[in-house]
Chains A and B, each alone.
Chain A
Amino acid sequence: MKLVIIKYNAGNIQSVLYALERIGVEAVVTDDAAEIRSADKVIFPGVGEASTAMDYLRERGLDTLIRGLRQPVLGICLGMQLMCSYSEENDTECLGIFEEKVKKFKPATDSERGSVAGGSGESAFKVPQIGWNTIYDLKTPLFTGVMENSYCYFVHGYYAALGRHTMATTDYVQPYSSALQKDNFYGVQFHPEKSAQTGETILKNFIAL
């Protein structure tokens, strides 16, 4: 099996590479079109800013290439957001694989934050969301063996709205898509490579698709 991680200007690719290594899978990191096309599975990671990443992909023709892939593709974090139709982050047209739109979490103002009663352990929402949150209403084989309300690790200031491609939901400020799927394209907002055993199960499921 040939697994390719798409190399571009957004991302902590090392973490994904090491996580795959821990589950016994070798991956090739490349931006070479022929290599990506010939892969059995493709991972599209990403940490960074949407418009810069999209510009980079367009300049190299990677946008058309990704849209045309027929093998299973897994977008992670910004990778998933770039597979959506549009992102509010610097008003960016994205790949349009999922019709869902990416919006900014509306942060609480200082006064709203101050007015929340203390003592309950409850904080007002901070942006970006950083930390462990639950995923529920799980669909697709990506979540085989993953229990409802399992914890995954999230770091993001923008979110994909709920839509018909939503395959997992998470609550932060409001419910949003923590996973999307359409045909051979899968996307997760959280970082499976940093989500302990749950993340490893999800990566193994993707490899087994």
Chain B
Amino acid sequence: MLTKRIIPCLDIKDGRTVKGVNFENIRDAGDPVELGALYAQQGADELVFLDITATNEKRKTLRELVNRIAHHINIPFTVGGGISSVDDVSLLLQNGADKISVNTSAFRRPELIGELAREFGSQCVVLAIDTRQEEDGEWYVYLNGGRVRTDIRCVDWAREGVDRGAGEILLTSMNNDGTKKGFALDITRRLAETLPVPVIASGGGGLPEHFAGILGVGRADAALAASIFHFKEITIPELKGYLQAQGVAVRL
């Protein structure tokens, strides 16, 4: 049976993990490769590395980092942040990335999704969407790390992205992100039920119950979280043990 995926996310700046980490066995807490390898060993199903540096002079640092990750980690990983062309992706894949994620650049120039899907296959194109529910009850797309609002509904952009060739949707609810009060069930479920591709839920996971909820009633195919793993509030083996006991299919 295909299992639900648990995906730790590492934010990277200048080749280092940004958010603090709290692991005893890591000599250099800021090294994303060491942290990623630890998660892989603990049973993470995939890893996501988001580069928040996003300046041209730092791109070489990212490529070198991706290359180190690829040498050391034996599970799939996605790289995102500032990707806006076939050439950008080509370099990351040549350095060993399995998938890439695009966000603002794809919204600004939607043809990018099709170009990447044709060149590298849909399986390696993850469309990341940051969304916020507003007073009218509707969820809208936000860009530039949540700083820029658009008038486009999340459901419409997600559908267009999939039609253009995105192989997965990474959906982050800005209302929930950082709250640790649970994922956004309604919008995640709406996308997961209507799109033919997997949906990765992100934002708000704080307790094991939240993960059971989003992977169960929320119908997400995968759940992503960052700080709760970095700060050992939940370890991956504990989380997966809990999910299995709740009847959610996970890889143990």
A→B interface (CB under 8 Å): 12, 14-15, 18-19, 21-22, 47-49, 107-108, 110, 113-114, 118-121, 123, 126-134, 151, 153-155, 171-172, 191, 193-197, 199-200
Contacts and interface: CB of A to CB of B under 8 A. Distances in A.
B221 A126 contact: yes
B95 interface: yes
B76 to A, nearest CB: 5
Interface stretch (B16-24, B127-135, B171-179, B186-194): B186-194
Contacts of B249: 121
A18 B2 contact: no
B70 A15 contact: yes
A32 B173 CA distance: 50
A48 B216 contact: no
B189 A131 contact: no
Contact of B194 (A14, A18, A113, A134): A113
A18 B76 CA distance: 12
B189 A118 contact: yes
State which size class the interface on B falls in: 35 or more
Among B4, B74, B76, B168, chain A packs the most CB atoms within 10 A around the CB of: B74
Contacts of B93: 12, 14
A130 B45 CA distance: 11
Contacts of B222: 131
Contact of A118 (B40, B198, B216): B216
Given A113-B194, A121-B4, A132-B3, 16 more contacts: A12-B98, A14-B94, A14-B95, A15-B98, A18-B70, A110-B194, A118-B189, A118-B217, A121-B212, A128-B167, A131-B4, A131-B5, A191-B76, A194-B98, A195-B74, A196-B75
A41 to B, nearest CB: 20
B70 A118 contact: no
Interface of B: 1-5, 40, 45, 70-72, 74-76, 93-96, 98, 121-124, 167-168, 189, 192-194, 196-198, 212, 215-217, 219, 221-222, 246-249, 251
A121 B240 CA distance: 13
Contacts of B197: 126
Contacts of A194: 74-76, 98
Contacts of B98: 12, 15, 194
A131 B167 CA distance: 12
